[in-house]
Amino acid sequence: MSYRKLKRLIVSGTIKYAAEIEREAVLLGLNVRRKGSELVLDSPIELLDSAKISNQINYAPLDLEVLWTVDSTNSYLMRRLVAPPKGYVVCLAEHQEKGRGRRGRQWVSPFGRNLYISIARVFSQVERGLDGLSLAVGIQLAKTLKQKKVDNLGLKWPNDLLLNNAKLAGILVEIGPMLGPNVCVIVGIGVNLELTKEDSLQIGQPHSDLCGVLECSRNLLAGEIIQNVISGINIFSHYGFSAFAKEWDEYNLYHDKKVLIHIAGSVVTGIDAGVDELGNLLLSTETGIKSFNSGEISLRGEF
Ligand code: BTN
C-alpha cells in the first residue's frame, strides 16, 4: 500500500489522480471522488499524532506509538511485549484489519474515524483478581466523556459504554504474556466517533457514535481517555475494584431492572442488584442472590 501518497491525500485533501490510490482509499473507507485530473477527499480526517496525544498524558515512563494500520492493537502489543515494560506501553491505530471484540466478535475499525487504543502494563498481584478491571476502565471512559458534557451515557456490565442506550464504546481486557513472576495486562478500548452506513451494516447490535454529540479533536480526546484510563488502572492496582464500586452504581444502566443472563446455552432472569467488591454481577433471583463473573456470559436488559 502506498502510504506516502495516501497520507498526502489525507493531509492536503487532494492529489494527482491515480486509479491505484483511488482503489486503496476506497478500500480504507475514505470518502474520495475524481475531479478532473485530481483525486479529492470529501470528508477531512484529523490524523492521529503521537506528540499531540502524549501532551495530554501526565504519566512517565510512557511508550506511545501510533500505527497507520494493524491487525489489532491488542494483538500487536501482545506480540511486542517480550520483556517487562517500564510503566505503560500504549498503541493507537488509524485502522484495524481484524479489530477484536469480546466473545470472539469483530470490532468494526474503519480508517481515521474512530479510536482504537491499547494500553499495556505489568501487574504483579493477579491473585487479587482482574475481573473488575474492565468495569473500572468503563467508568473512567464514561467520566472522560461526561466531563466533556456528553449526556445520556451509561454502562452495561461488564464493559459496554452506551450512549442513548446504543453501544458507543467497548473494552477488551486480555492477559498477555507472563514476564517472569508478573503478568502483562492489555486493555483495549474502541470508541465510535463517526460510523458510516457501511460500517453500521457490519455491526450486529444497536450502536451509536459521537458525531453531532461532541465536537472534539481526535488527538485531544484520545489523550484525555488514555490519561484517565491510566489513572484508573493505577488506582485499581492499589485498591482493586472496591475503589470503583460506588461509581459503578451511578453509571449502571440496569440497576434495579429486570435482566436476562445468557450463560452456556441457558438463560437466568433476575433483578440487577449491582456488583460485589470484585466487580462480579449480583443478580437477585427467586432463589436468592446469584453472582456471575464476566467470563463467557452476556447480559440483556428487559426495559
Ligand atoms: C467489545 O465491546 O466487545 C470490546 C471491543 C474492544 C475493541 C478494541 S479497539 C482497540 C483494541 N484492539 C482490538 O482488537 N480490540 C480492542
Residues 150-203 have pLDDT tens digits of 999 999 999 899 999 999 999 999 988 787 788 899 999 999 999 998 899 999
For residue 107 and ligand 1, the question of a CB distance below 6 A is answered with yes
Banded model confidence at residue 264, pLDDT cuts 50, 70, 90: confident
Q: What average pLDDT does the segment 23-34 reach?
A: 90
Average pLDDT score, the chain: 92
Distance, CA of 126 to CA of 176 (rounded, Å): 12
Q: Is the pLDDT of residue 303 over 50?
A: no
Give residue 229's pLDDT: 98
Banded model confidence at residue 95, pLDDT cuts 50, 70, 90: very high
Candidates 179, 181, 186, 154; CA nearest to 169 is 154
Looking at per-residue confidence, does 1 or 301 come out higher? 301
According to DSSP, the β-strands at 160-163 and 62-70 are unpaired
Atom of ligand 1 nearest to the CA of 109: 9
80 is catalytic: no
Question: Is 16 strand, coil or helix?
Answer: strand
Give residue 60's pLDDT: 86
**Which residue's CA lies nearest to atom 7 of ligand 1?**
190
State the cell numbers at 82. Answer: 517480550
Catalytic residue among 100, 156, 167, 218: 167
Distance, CA of 68 to CA of 188 (rounded, Å): 17
Handedness of CA 243, 246, 251, 253 (dihedral sign): positive
Residues 50-91 have pLDDT tens digits of 999 999 999 989 999 999 999 999 999 999 987 778 899 999
Atom of ligand 1 nearest to the CA of 101: 3
Region class of 216: left (phi > 0), else alpha (psi between -120 and 50), else beta:
beta
pTM: 0.94
Give residue 103's pLDDT: 85
Q: What average pLDDT does the segment 85-103 reach?
A: 94
102 is catalytic: yes
Give residue 125's pLDDT: 62
Q: Is the pLDDT of residue 281 over 80?
A: yes
